[in-house]
Amino acid sequence: MKNILFASSECVPFIKTGGLADVVGSLPKYFDKKKYDVRVVLPKYCCMNQKWKDRLEYVNHFYMNIAGQDQYVGILQYVQDKITFYFIDNEYYFSGFAPYDGDQKWNIEKFAFFSKAVLSILPVIGFRPDLIHCHDWQTGLIPVYLDNFRYLGEYYRGIKTIMTIHNLKFQGVWDTRTVRHITGLPEYYFAPDKLEAYKDANLLKGGIVYADKVTTVSQTYAEEIKTPFFGEGLDGLMSARSNDLCGIVNGLDYSEYCPFKDTRIAKRFTVDTFRKNKVSNKVSLQEELGLEKDSKVMMIGIVSRLTDQKGFDLIDCVMDELCQDAVQIVVLGTGDVKYENMFRHFAWKYSGKVSANIFYSEELSHKIYASSDAFLMPSLFEPCGLSQLMSLRYGTLPIVRETGGLKDTVEPYNEFEKTGTGFSFKNYNAHEMLNTIRYAERIYYDKKRDWNKIVERAMEKDFSWKSSAKQYDELYKSLIGK
């Protein structure tokens, strides 16, 4: 039996801002329990739902030095689906209204504390991982501290690490002097072949340099990040580590996203009943959101963080043209004020046709995945993307830009070969996107049988964790044996 510890700043069902939480909350369930004891550690945020906070059990506490001060490190735990989740408690760091509340420097200090605490709790909880699986910049210091902790004695020697990059855009960068003070790490680590990048300290870079293996969440993104456009300044490092870098596409928690069991949607459906039942879902969502009631109109859904990454500039550019067509557009998202206001504006201008829901809601997200005919995701870049996988599962055809995981998971419709599960376009160009949407409209309105065949293929695709968990299993085996 091997011990694996996932370290992450987000994890469903406890705390989520994006796909990272979905991945960390679901992947551990898909390993063979006879082979691996997989546990998860995350911060105990005050902003977590009270329901979860009430269930956490106190394990132990101690004090640890960070940023020149002794800080309380509380350990709590909760077991769900036979998986143990540890929560690191410290109200000084984790009391914000959201996980990444506060400025960049504060976040760096917060997650430096978390990373050091993750290693420090191990002897206390009596769980010595053979491997720590780190996720994103917030845990980038773990492999670095682990290297440093080797000098403390036998205990930390031989623990392997994997650094998974969910989004290379976020790296945790601040000036070297401050980061040295916060982390208490020796000067040795702040060199260009270690933590330093472009004269600053870069936490994700530290993780990439010191981890035994580096992964990202799709094969295409694993290639893209070796190029300057997607590399965010680290493309050289990604190329240098290419022997240890691989892309493993994300899976979906099929028990959570399941159109025939979903209790959040008006009418459940399968691949045999979607023709009738998806329409019922659509009409019920139109009623709920105050859209024109029309069972025949093509509904396009968007569920997303509203940031530059997701391609909303393209939508802004052609929205007036698109709204001349027979379509309805339903948006659910929060993020940059400029995009929030952009969608509010279009919802006002095209009321009855466009619905802008500028908030976070699991419930409404499921309804949108279930009710829409198409799902629009024209990302500028996309490490993997889970929303398009959710759409496929609910027979909602993705219209995506061919980048990262979108390219790897959505097969464009080919009307001659009768293949494909969605629609895609190549360039980051608003009219290329609009033409693709209009092509989808033509299939939807004029070739309904073909459209329904695409829906069948989409629903029958398997993006559960089955095959990807197996790839992680192989990777773990290559580092820690059977």
Q: Is residue 224 within the footprint of ligand GLC (CB under 6 A)?
A: no
| SS percent in the chain: helix, strand, coil, step 5 | 45, 25, 35
Q: Is residue 20 within the footprint of ligand GLC (CB under 6 A)?
A: yes
Site string for ligand GLC, 289-318 (x = CB under 6 A): ------------------------------
The gap from C-alpha 86 to its chain's centroid, in whole angstroms, comes to 20
Query: Looking at beta carbons only, is 38 or 159 nearer to ligand GLC?
Result: 38
Which residue's entry shows tokens 């997303």?
A: 304
Query: Looking at beta carbons only, is 289 or 315 nearer to ligand GLC?
Result: 315
The residue from 183, 215, 250, 304 that contacts ligand GLC (CB under 6 A) is 250
- At 134, the amino acid letter reads C
360 binds, among ligand GLC, ligand ADP, none (CB under 5 to 8 A by kind): ligand ADP
Name the nearest CA neighbour of 26 among 181, 359, 256. 256
Q: Is residue 19 within the footprint of ligand ADP (CB under 6 A)?
A: yes
In angstroms, what is the minimal distance from the CB of 257 to ligand ADP?
8
Question: Euclidean distance between the first and final Cα of the chain, in Å?
Answer: 8
Q: Is residue 334 within the footprint of ligand ADP (CB under 6 A)?
A: yes
CB 419 within 8 A of CB 407: no
Q: Is residue 333 within the footprint of ligand ADP (CB under 6 A)?
A: yes
With both helix axes pointing from N to C terminus, report the angle between 104-125 and 141-149 in degrees, rounded to the nearest 10: 50
The residue from 217, 237, 314, 319 that contacts ligand GLC (CB under 6 A) is 217
Sheet order of strands, 57-66 included: 57-66, 69-80, 83-89, 36-43, 2-7, 131-135, 160-165, 213-216, 245-247
Which residues contact residue 222 at a Cβ distance below 8 angstroms, ignoring those fewer than 6 apart?
A: 215, 216, 245, 246, 247
Burial class of residue 135, CB neighbours in 10 A (0-12, 13-18, 19+): buried
362 binds, among ligand ADP, ligand GLC, none (CB under 5 to 8 A by kind): ligand ADP
Query: Looking at beta carbons only, is 423 or 463 nearer to ligand GLC?
Result: 463
Query: Looking at beta carbons only, is 26 or 148 nearer to ligand ADP?
Result: 26
Say how far apart CA 95 and CA 47 lie, in whole Å. Answer: 7
Q: Is residue 232 within the footprint of ligand ADP (CB under 6 A)?
A: no
C-alpha dihedral over 326, 279, 371, 51, to 10 degrees?
150
Token pair in block for residue 9: 């700043």
Q: Is residue 461 within the footprint of ligand ADP (CB under 6 A)?
A: no
387 binds, among ligand GLC, ligand ADP, none (CB under 5 to 8 A by kind): ligand ADP
Query: Binding segment for ligand GLC among 18-26, 222-230, 269-277, 467-475 (CB under 6 A)?
Result: 18-26
Number of residues that bind ligand GLC (CB under 6 A): 14
Footprint of ligand ADP on 157-196 (CB under 6 A) = none
In angstroms, what is the minimal distance from the CB of 16 to ligand GLC?
11
Footprint of ligand GLC on 373-392 (CB under 6 A) = 382-386
CB 354 within 8 A of CB 346: yes
Residues binding ligand ADP (CB under 6 A): 18-20, 22, 303-305, 332-334, 360-362, 365, 384-387
Residues binding ligand GLC (CB under 6 A): 18-20, 23, 166-167, 217, 250, 382-386, 405
